[in-house]
Structure 1
């Protein structure tokens, strides 16, 4: 029971602070997810007002989220204080892929011991949605692909491993925006092998299937990055 005006004021201030923190976190998570799933083109400028309008929020939570993402190196602040989505070189991509194979392969192996029937069912649902996508659904493909992979990584029950994997996806996510949709059928086949291994609780097969998925998808990314660097004409 609140008996004093001062106590009531403090209480209301605390409630507003919690609401603001929750909104800031929501905006941060939404932008983070968009970056990881190729929602922004490498080199694109992150304009606060445009983002705030698209997320239906004020500038403050967007500014807070952008600041956090700059600290995480998911975004880059230029000397003139403009914030852009970083571009990635082929060498940087290869280095990240090597680390991803080690960490995400381990997460897939660990998930075999923990994933339940609901988790398997969710992977199958996402797999079917990916297979049903048309060739003009690139953005949806990468969003579903991210959801598929992180359903596995969350099932590994290793918060530290998950956070490191997320940081790698933040660095690599923007390149997905440039990859053509002919990955859909190949990605679906790779996902089916992962589901089969997880359903069988075969950690070795799960690690191998996840590694193959990252290698084949990565090869397409590299081919696209090389093509983009070719001189026009």
Structure 2
């Protein structure tokens, strides 16, 4: 039980931490399809009340990682190949569109931020700690690409798609970070050249390549 217990520092952002922890254990395969995620048990394991567990389960239901059933509670529904197909196809379409619509609104400081994130990611290695840091920087990079997009709903849809497995893909595909980094560099190049079509195609290729490689991982493990 102690291995899951949240520290006092973690409790400063309690809801976020609880949701992240439950998402992590599901994505790591600690549950099988159809297993129940019992609120009382996880409240005790994390050292919190049932309320943040309940709120976390509602968020995970939106992400498709659990299903809330009357009288049974939260039933775990792990990511399937079909889920990967859907999530990454939608991401490719929506993120490509959002980045193109963001392009006219990006300021010089936005481009400088993207270049700074590129430098930080390029300086990282392949050990576990570096991959964890790369994961965070990668999420920031993709957010910065679309920051200027004026469409509110597209941001909301992309944010929902990112709350499942996408943030964890660098750790699953750590042997392919160099290829991902080269694609990131091309994205910044086309932003600086104000080339929307090449930017869109590079983002779509980047996300769909990740989809294909994730599907290989899932099918190999199964």
TM-score by length of 2: 0.74
Aligned equivalents of 1:154 and 1:33: distance in 2? 23
Aligned equivalents of 1:206 and 1:25: distance in 2? 39
Q: Which residue number in structure 1 is paired with residue 190 of structure 2?
A: 197
Aligned equivalents of 2:30 and 2:52: distance in 1? 16
Q: 1:181 aligns with which of 174, 182, 185?
A: 174
The reply on whether 1:117 has 2:102 as its aligned counterpart is: no
Q: Quote how far apart the aligned CAs of 1:117 are.
A: 1.2
The reply on whether 1:41 has 2:27 as its aligned counterpart is: yes
Q: Quote how far apart the aligned CAs of 1:90 are.
A: 1.5
Q: 2:99 aligns with which of 108, 125, 133?
A: 108
Q: Quote how far apart the aligned CAs of 1:201 are.
A: 2.0
1:178/1:224 contact within 8 Å kept = no
Q: Quote how far apart the aligned CAs of 1:49 are.
A: 4.2
CA RMSD of aligned residues (A): 3.1
3-state SS, counterpart of residue 163 of structure 2: helix
Q: 1:133 aligns with which of 118, 124, 127?
A: 124
3-state SS, counterpart of residue 87 of structure 1: coil
Q: Which residue number in structure 2 is paired with residue 59 of structure 1?
A: 49
Aligned equivalents of 2:66 and 2:194: distance in 1? 41
Q: Quote how far apart the aligned CAs of 1:51 are.
A: 4.2
1:42/1:174 contact within 8 Å kept = no
Q: Tell me which of the two structures has the higher relative contact order, counting C-alpha pairs closer than 8 angstroms and 6 or more residues apart.
A: 1
Change (3 A) 1:67 1:217: closer
Q: Which residue number in structure 2 is paired with residue 73 of structure 1?
A: 63
Change (3 A) 1:42 1:83: farther
1:193/1:209 contact within 8 Å kept = yes
Aligned equivalents of 1:77 and 1:121: distance in 2? 42
Structure of higher CA gyration radius: 1
CA deviations 1:117-141 (Å, max 9, x no partner) are: 1111111111111111111132222
3-state SS, counterpart of residue 150 of structure 2: coil
Structure 1 residues not aligned, in runs of 5+ = 1-23, 53-57
1:28/1:62 contact within 8 Å kept = yes
Q: Which residue number in structure 1 is paired with residue 4 of structure 2?
A: none
Q: Quote how far apart the aligned CAs of 1:210 are.
A: 0.7
Aligned equivalents of 2:18 and 2:126: distance in 1? 25
TM-score by length of 1: 0.71
Q: Which residue number in structure 2 is paired with residue 165 of structure 1?
A: 158
Change (3 A) 1:171 1:184: same
